[in-house]
Amino acid sequence: MLCAMSQPAPKSSRIRDLLTKPIRLPQWFAGRPSAGDPRVFSFNDERESVVNEVAARVVAQCLGARLELLINDSAHREIERLEKQRDDEAREWLGFWRTVVRKLARMSETERHETLRQIVEPMARDVAGNFDPRVYRFAQQVIPGLIAGVMNPKQLMVDAASVRKLGAERLVSLTGHLDEMHALSQIGTVVVVPTHSSNLDSLAIGESLARENLPPVVYGAGKNLFTNPIISFFMHNLGAYRIDRRIKSQIYKQVLKTYSCVMIERGYHSLFFPGGTRSRSGMLEGRLKLGLAGTAVEAYARNAIRAKSRGEAPRPIFFVPVTINYALVLEAESLVEDYLKEKGQARYIIEDDEFSQLDRWLAFFRRLTSYGAACVLRYGPAIDPFGNRVDPQGRSLAPDGRVIDPVSYVTHRGEPVLDPARDAAYTRDLGRELVEHYRRETVIMTTQLVAHVLFRKLVRETPGVDLFGRVRRRGEITWAHAEYVTSYRETLDRLRALQDQGEVHINSYLETDSAERSLERALEAWDGYHTRTMARITDGQIVIEDPALLLYYQNRLVPFAERIAGEGDERAAIEIAALAGAL
């Protein structure tokens, strides 16, 4: 029977391989990683052992009666998916899965295990990434220049020598606890957890790490991003592992979780977007499931158990929350439309948004360069997997500042132990903690504050109207420019007070620009990029043209709405604050 269950034989066509398999450079001149290199430089040597460990662990975890259910579930889900796909993958695998379904009930325990191994191994192999230091160095040198070229080709010609300076550094400004990040990445394993509003986020994070000479991180990327051979080449060779969101089976989810757990256990710095998908509403993430990032808690427990048996302290794991704050969001129009359709949570991948349209990219980058530092990445203070702050030496701190041992959190009666239910609870706690960090580490941008002041006016002028009624009020609400200026100034003052209390951060433009200049700056940014006019000034009156996009940009201020509202705006602010509940 096992014979009939054999896996599909690998196809021999070289051409097909080139088109479908990730391309790697030959290893002839690869060179050996040296001692001071980041951990990930030696990933390729460990790749096979990572895949084997993942497969072995997943197989060992699925035992008894649950195993039959798991295989059955996977088989039916895979058949359903592949029948719809009708591609080469379907031709390769459909037969295998159908045979599994036919024979599963009669299989012995051993045969079921063997079948599971046959399912899990290719999955793990497909997920596993690759890291080529040559590609990394190449990307480090060339990509900022490429970005600069796309953004401003004329300048590129003039100032070719300092091409790196032109692009990313002007575009993305870095702030926050970067020194701490330097120190901690030497001491332990860093798990970077940013907010997520755009597909550019992973680029922005990658670029910021490279610019700061911080070690690169491994990260999961949707398989849909691997369809373009050039992007696929870079993604695949820069440590990205592939997540196929079409596969719904529990076994696959287990493989992904185990893969990220093993990688963190082995000390690879990792990047996860704990919000899952991009924020449809433009709001800061309010509830985090953490998903794969949650495996860091298990990874820590496993390391603690191993370390204890050797009489050592485990290598610490640090979560570093990062807020990515854009003055303009590339995909804003599609995202808010999706949010308003209330499909935001259900639709996983928007197939045809601005990210896939070259002309939108060009328009976006051109607008950004004229804006200046249009994206601010703020690295927050690091916390351990249990939500405690850590000091620059990587030691966990209690709320009173005392150094505590993080192993105590995974200890039961003196021994570190594995406990999935406990770790799930820690993960939920960590999600709540990160939400708080995101709020405090947010950097409010000019476009967001201007949008908020305008949207609050709209809410104030439309009492009793619901959100959907409001976003249809195009060109109906006008506001005397002078009154706007007063309202803006008061709001900014209150926001500054919040900043002084450590509740939020504000962008440097907001510190220096006058109210009039801020409005101009926001309108210029929007007009140059978004296809619809958001607001315009006519005869000293501001006319609100696109409430939906204003909503998107102002949503970043939802957590602060009530505390920055002045007299007369309280009710509108309460309504805006209530938007958070509708997440």
Partner 1 sequence: MSGVATSSDPGSDGERPLVAVLGGGPFGLALAKAAARTGQVLLLSRRDPGLQLDNVRVTADLAQLADAELIFMAVPSRYAKEALRDAGHHLDGRHLLVHVSRGLLDDELRTMSHLLRSVTPCRRVGALAGPISVDVLTNASPGGGVVGSEFPEVAEAVRGALGGPTLRIYDSIDLRGVELAAALTGLLLFTIGFAQRIGFGPATIATVTTRGVAEVSRIGTALGARSDTFGGLACFGDLLAAVAGSDRPELELGRALAEGATPNAALLRAGGNIEGIEVARRVSTFGTRRKIETPLADVIAKMVGGELSASQAVRTLMGRDVGSE
What residues make contact with partner 1 under the rule CB under 8 A?
57, 60, 302, 305, 386-388, 398-400, 402, 404-413, 415-419, 421-422, 424-426, 428-429, 574, 577-578, 581
Question: Which residue, among 287, 335, 281, has the nearest Cα to 467 in the 3D structure?
Answer: 281
Cα–Cα distance measured from residue 191 to residue 187, given in angstroms and rounded to the nearest whole number:
13
Find how far residue 303's CA is from the centre of its chain.
25
Q: Could you tell me the smallest distance in angstroms from the CB atom of residue 408 to partner 1?
A: 4
Handedness of CA 170, 176, 180, 185 (dihedral sign): negative
Q: Could you tell me the smallest distance in angstroms from the CB atom of residue 475 to partner 1?
A: 29
The residue (of 352 and 466) whose beta carbon lies closer to partner 1 is 466
Q: Could you tell me the smallest distance in angstroms from the CB atom of residue 62 to partner 1?
A: 14
Q: Could you tell me the smallest distance in angstroms from the CB atom of residue 435 to partner 1?
A: 12
The residue (of 93 and 386) whose beta carbon lies closer to partner 1 is 386
Q: Could you tell me the smallest distance in angstroms from the CB atom of residue 328 to partner 1?
A: 32
The residue (of 237 and 388) whose beta carbon lies closer to partner 1 is 388
Question: Which residue, among 309, 370, 6, has the nearest Cα to 152 in the 3D structure?
Answer: 370
The residue (of 54 and 534) whose beta carbon lies closer to partner 1 is 54
Q: Could you tell me the smallest distance in angstroms from the CB atom of residue 61 to partner 1?
A: 9
Only one residue has tokens 């893969």, namely 259
Cα–Cα distance measured from residue 436 to residue 447, given in angstroms and rounded to the nearest whole number:
23
Instruction: Please enumerate in sequence order all residues whose Cβ is within 8 A of that of 466, keeping only pairs 6 or more positions apart, or say none.
Output: none
The amino acid at 425:
A
Handedness of CA 333, 525, 366, 276 (dihedral sign): negative
Q: Could you tell me the smallest distance in angstroms from the CB atom of residue 198 to partner 1?
A: 28
The residue (of 349 and 578) whose beta carbon lies closer to partner 1 is 578
Question: Which residue, among 451, 404, 409, has the nearest Cα to 557 in the 3D structure?
Answer: 451
SS (H, E, C) 5-29: CCCCCCCCCHHHHHHHCCCCCCCCC
Find how far residue 144's CA is from the centre of its chain.
21
The residue (of 186 and 309) whose beta carbon lies closer to partner 1 is 309
Q: Could you tell me the smallest distance in angstroms from the CB atom of residue 426 to partner 1?
A: 6
Cα–Cα distance measured from residue 170 to residue 315, given in angstroms and rounded to the nearest whole number:
36
| CA R_g for the chain | 26
The residue (of 426 and 560) whose beta carbon lies closer to partner 1 is 426
The residue (of 305 and 485) whose beta carbon lies closer to partner 1 is 305
